[in-house]
Structure 1
Amino acid sequence: MRNALIVWGGWEGHEPEAGARAVKAMLEEEGFAVQVENTTAIFADPAIAELSLIVPIYTMSKLTKAEEANLTKAVENGVGLGGYHGGMGDAFRESPEYQFMCGGQWVAHPGNIIDYRVNVARRDDPIMQGIEDFPYRSEQYYMHVDPSNEVLATTTFSGSHASWIDGVVMPVVWKRRHGKGRVFYSSLGHVASEFQVPQMRTILRRGLAWAAR
């Protein structure tokens, strides 16, 4: 049986505890044994090296050097990493090694909660299979991203809220490798109610399953 660790906390605006419950149920449906923690101290535990998957849901917080080093080493050696929105993509702003591993970092969401469109870039990828372009209402994440990411879906900024980014195509969903570990990220999921959007939930569920060792 594959073992997953969910670690939630940080900024309450992203409803991390509710998100952790949703992800836990999702992973259990996939056959994972799931451990849930709400402190980053677990990242310093050498035992995480034996996990199949780690899911951070921890917006705007800090890692100690020991936590950062042990977590990134575990993924580099084969543990999967997967997550969504700010819980993974804006988790530890002062940890460049963590950001290097994730493949991106949030920097803005012009207009805050708005209507935008998600465009599927890789319909041939199993994570995106059967999913067509779809409308979405949430924060449209503007991110600094790694050019080595394998981008599965994008969004295009209109410029309505920041004229200088009109027409910018931004990755929304990607997967990548970090050493031997698989890494998956989706910027969708500002609040837990977004798990009710079928495309968001399906993409995340498939992506986490792909990332797991």
Structure 2
Amino acid sequence: MTTESKRALVVRGGWEGHEPVVITDLFVPFLRDNGYEVETSDTLSVYEDAARLAATDLVVQCWTMGEITKEQCEGLVGAVRAGTGFAGWHGGIVDAFRGDVDYTLLTGGQFLMHPSGFSDHAVTLAADRAAHPVIAGLSDFRVHTEKYWMATDGDIDVLATTEFAPDEHRTHAVTMPAVWTRTVRAGRVFVSTIGHKPDDFDVPEVRTLTERGLLWASR
């Protein structure tokens, strides 16, 4: 008796500054090693293919900015609600399709801004979620990359945060969600705001939590 492979669809495109092909290719071997048949798409029209999405266990999206049509968004949201997993990182998932409310309600957050350039900063894991399979056994870590200021939904499960110190815009520190999961009816969504550049994933904790997030989100 053979076990049927799972199916992953990698949707990549949009702004080239986030290197969507290079970075998603970092995770294709991992998915294949974990039993997935992996397809890629460089067009959002794939979200209009209901049968294809229904047969897909995990959609990995890296598509920064751009526009999504009503039909495409409805197709993606409908598939996730029915059980297809949805996962991604950085601008490829939370700086996509700005202003589309239905898409933002799917991801649970929208990028608003980041301080100029890269910065060394800490990523703090949520102590009360230490047993969550995405971060279990990991410790707080540091990265040198962009730090995202987010607008987030109240209905997300925050697994890690970053800190914004007081500055000319605010007199107090602000703790910002950086990694989270959520459920959307039968589907699961994983979001990490870390991943502007390929070497962000050279940080072992970043690579591990991203890989685990993909598996967690999958049907």
- In the superposition, the TM-score normalised over structure 1's length comes to 0.96
Identity %: 40
Q: Runs of 4+ in structure 1 displaced over 3 angstroms?
A: none
**Is the aligned partner of 1:102 residue 2:114?**
no
1:135 corresponding residue in structure 2: 142
Residue of structure 2 in register with 1:210 after alignment: 216
Aligned residues: 212
Aligned to 1:52: 57
Equivalent residue for 2:10, pick from 6, 9, 23:
6
| Aligned match of 2:197 | 191
Asked if the contact 2:143–2:200 (Cα under 8 Å) also holds between the matched residues in 1, the reply is no
Superposition pairs of residues 1-213 of structure 1, within 5 angstroms: 1-46=5-50, 47-121=52-126, 122-160=129-167, 162-164=168-170, 166-213=172-219
Aligned-pair CA distance for 1:165: 6.7
CA distance in 2, matches of 1:87, 1:181: 19
- The code of the aligned residue for 1:20 comes to T
For the Cα contact (< 8 Å) 1:62–1:94, is it kept in 2? no
Say whether the 8 Å CA contact 1:157–1:165 is kept in structure 2. Answer: no
Please, which runs of 5 or more residues in structure 1 have no aligned partner? none
Alpha-carbon distance in structure 1 between the residues aligned to 2:33 and 2:53 = 22
RMSD: 1.2
Q: Is the 8 A contact 1:4 1:55 kept in 2?
A: yes
With the length of structure 2 as denominator, give the TM-score of the two structures: 0.93
The answer to whether the 8 A contact 2:11-2:61 is kept is: yes
Q: Report the alpha carbon displacement of residue 93 of structure 1 after superposing the two structures with TM.
A: 0.8
Q: Is the 8 A contact 1:83 1:186 kept in 2?
A: yes
> Contact between 1:112 and 1:140, CA under 8 Å: does it hold in 2?
no
Tell whether the 8 Å contact from 2:179 to 2:193 is kept in structure 1 after alignment: yes
C-alpha contact (below 8 Å) 2:133/2:216 kept by paired residues: no
1:206 Cα deviation after fit: 0.3
Structure 2 alignment gaps of length 5 or more: none
Query: Contact conserved, 1:127 with 1:203, CA < 8 A, in 2?
Result: yes
Q: Secondary structure of 1:22's partner?
A: coil
